[in-house]
Amino acid sequence: MLLVAGLAAGHGADLNDVLKTALYIEPGNFESFAEAFKDLADQTKAKADDTLLQSDAVNARDTYFAAATYYRAADLFLHGNCSDPRINEFWDLQTDCFNKGISALPVPGERITLKANGFKIPAIYYGPSQPVPNVKRPTLLLCEGYDAAQEELLHFNVFFPLSRGWNAITFEGPGQPTVRRNQDIGFIPDWERVVTPVVDYLYTRSDIDFERLALLGNSFGGYLTARAAAFEPRLKALILNGGIYDSHQAFVGQLPANLQALYDAGDKDQFDDLIGEALHSENAPSQFRWDVEQGLWAFKIQAYTIANITDRIRMPTFIANATDDQFFAGQPQLVKNALGDRATLYSFDGAAGYHTQVGASVESNRVIHMWLDSVFNMTSQAVAVY
Ligand SMILES: *[C@@H]1O[C@H](CO)[C@@H](O)[C@H](O)[C@H]1NC(C)=O
Ligand SMILES: *[C@@H]1O[C@H](CO)[C@@H](O)[C@H](O)[C@H]1NC(C)=O
Ligand SMILES: *[C@@H]1O[C@H](CO)[C@@H](O)[C@H](O)[C@H]1NC(C)=O
């Protein structure tokens, strides 16, 4: 809920829409979550579709963005049953609303598809103003982690660089929402196969300052982007929000000891039986059910470590730590230890202390941009259009 509400800071939701919807959700009841957000999404979309509102492009844009956010929220907990037709239905609705939103931006967001070896990369390019001849801008590349969609990044991280005069490009790779849905490809550990084609694409453009190219990854993206950066020296700065050294340790470390032992022994049948029992017990915590339903076995997690490659990460690196992180506690410090002076470890606490600073986007992006300005030796300028 906080994640959805927090998107209000980046034109992605209205706060009281979300707070009020919470009243209709029963704790632990995934179905009530889906229904409550679907109702809110439908109501919001109906407002956006109103012809009167359409005459005001800013209103239409923000209302479509909110509707898209609520359809994504409605989808969030449906994945326990892959044949639920609402998974695709809600996704099509979110895509449609989001596309109407980005086409109404002062500089419309541009959906592009990049070719990679064995799959396609859906990406969205955003600019702070129309390209001006000979003006090259710092550019932020961004990707999410285990489950979030690139659309969410617009509200979570992208408006912040745009308003500072940066370009931004978001993208998804194997395992992430659209690539899994449309190409049926699960996660791959060698994420440079995703990032290098994105950098290649930027090299075809004339509005990029190649000395100021930074890559940001949220959540499990903290592993994915660190891995990619080790093989992509054209990136000049790296932001890990937060740092992940060894994903196996981080994910499996959240399981009870008996399950960890079965997992490590590769005993999938018994692991599944025990997980099945736990999932159907009345006491299964929602977070745990969700992690597992999302597919712990979907990829071989042992391969997702940067242990062997940290000496290849040469660019300045910002590592976010979060004092209330329920997923990756302790991992950011391990990344810092491995990178030494090349890295800055910053610990978010208090109201910004949750995983990826959920609910505190303004503070999160402020700290990240202060660091970027200092490593790129620049002062970001406020751009009025956003
Ligand atoms: C999954 O969804 C399908 C389609 O709605 C439904 O027929 C089926 O009963 C559901 N399965 C479970 C286990 O809920
Ligand atoms: C790390 O390097 C060691 C030694 O070269 C190798 O045996 C191991 O498989 C590597 N691990 C990963 C995850 O690449
Ligand atoms: C980072 O966060 C963890 C909790 O996730 C906390 O124990 C640790 O002290 C924090 N590190 C720093 C440097 O503040």
Q: What is the pLDDT of residues 107-128, one digit of tens each?
A: 999 999 999 999 999 999 999 9
Q: Are strands 343-348 and 317-322 parallel, antiparallel or unpaired?
A: parallel
Query: How many residues comprise the chain?
Result: 386
Least confident residue range of 14-18, 24-28, 91-95, 324-328: 324-328
Straight-line distance from the first to the last Cα atom of the chain, in angstroms, rounded to the nearest whole number: 26
Report whether pLDDT(186) > 80. Answer: yes
Q: Which ligand is nearest to the CA of 323?
A: 3
Q: What is the pLDDT at residue 317?
A: 98
Q: How far is the C-alpha of 346 from the C-alpha of 165, rounded, in Å?
A: 24
Cα separations in angstroms, 8 against 17, 94, 194? 10, 17, 30
Mean per-residue pLDDT of the chain: 92
Higher pLDDT, 383 or 372: 372
pLDDT band at 43 (very low <50, low <70, confident <90, very high): very high
Choosing from 29, 35, 81 the residue with most ligand 1 atoms within 8 A of its CB, the one to mutate for a pocket test is 81
Question: CATH 1.20.1440.110 residue ranges in the chain?
Answer: 1-104
1-104 homologous superfamily = acylaminoacyl peptidase (1.20.1440.110)
Report whether pLDDT(58) > 70. Answer: yes
Least confident residue range of 90-94, 169-173, 276-280: 276-280
239 exposed, middle or buried (CB, 10 Å; 0-12, 13-18, 19+)?
A: buried
Q: Which fold has domain 109-246+304-386?
A: Rossmann fold (3.40.50)
Higher pLDDT, 256 or 347: 347
Give the residue-averaged pLDDT of 265-289: 71
Higher pLDDT, 180 or 197: 197
Give the residue-averaged pLDDT of 232-259: 89
**How far, in Å, from the CA of 322 to the mean position of ligand 3?**
6
**How far, in Å, from the CA of 364 to the mean position of ligand 3?**
16
Residue 113 CA from chain centroid, whole number: 18
Task: Find out whether 137 and 383 touch, Cβ atoms under 8 Å.
Answer: no
Report whether pLDDT(288) > 80. Answer: no
**How far, in Å, from the CA of 78 to the mean position of ligand 1?**
11
Choosing from 245, 321, 344, 367 the residue with most ligand 3 atoms within 8 A of its CB, the one to mutate for a pocket test is 321
Task: Find out whether 77 and 4 touch, Cβ atoms under 8 Å.
Answer: no
- Note the pTM of the prediction, 2 decimals: 0.92
Question: CATH 3.40.50.1820 residue ranges in the chain?
Answer: 109-246+304-386
Which structure tokens are listed for 277? 């029992």
Give the residue-averaged pLDDT of 195-211: 98
The protein residue with its alpha carbon nearest to ligand 3, atom 4, reads: 323
Give the residue-averaged pLDDT of 138-148: 95
Report whether pLDDT(297) > 60. Answer: no
Q: What is the pLDDT at residue 150?
A: 98
Q: What is the pLDDT at residue 81?
A: 87
